Homo-oligomer: A and B are copies of this chain.
Amino acid sequence: MQLTRFSDYGLRLMMMAAANRDRLITIEETARVYDISRAHLMKVAQFLVKQGFLTTVRGRSGGLKLARAPEAVRIGDLVRATETDFVMVECMGGANQCRITKACRLRGIIGEALGAFLDVLDRYTLDDLMLRPEDFGIRRAA
């Protein structure tokens, strides 16, 4: 069981923006800090801007920043947005062809478990994940 890379990168990008919220961050810098694909991170960033989690500032010294205060961003909401589907088992997806679907109770039970998973994430906000720029290997200007 795992979250998509899309969610993983989304969480990391939001944590980077939160730790450096006194300035704009860039995709280049974030990809370098985490040593991950710039192209993938760009897609995640565009999505998070569209969903109202990040704001873009255009221009030569432009970049990204949080659209809301860290304590207003619930981790559950972030994961619900980036995990575009939760097809835990085949019958939860559109391509389902499992023969016993009609009578089967598994989907309901897995759905209940998934609800409990997200309920825990809803108890935390980005503020609970707050780090310092130094934790990303970033030195602050004096």
A121 to B83, CA, bound (A): 21
In the complex, whether A141 has a CB less than 8 A from a CB of chain B is: no
- Residues of B within 8 Å of A104, CB to CB, are 15, 129, 131, 135
Q: Mark each residue of chain A from 104 to 135: 1 if its CB lies under 8 Å from any CB of chain B, else 0.
A: 11100110111111111100100011011001
Count, chain A residues at interface, CB 8 A: 48
Q: Is the CB of A105 within 8 A of B128?
A: yes
- Cβ–Cβ contact A99 & B33, under 8 A: yes
The CB with the most chain B CB atoms within 10 A, among A2, A33, A86, A90, is that of A2
Complex A-B, nearest 4 residue pairs according to Cβ-Cβ distance, in ascending order: A113-B120, A116-B116, A117-B117, A103-B135
18 CB contacts below 8 A, A to B, read: A1-B2, A1-B3, A1-B83, A1-B86, A1-B114, A11-B106, A12-B100, A15-B104, A75-B109, A103-B131, A104-B129, A106-B129, A109-B129, A113-B120, A114-B117, A115-B120, A116-B117, A117-B117
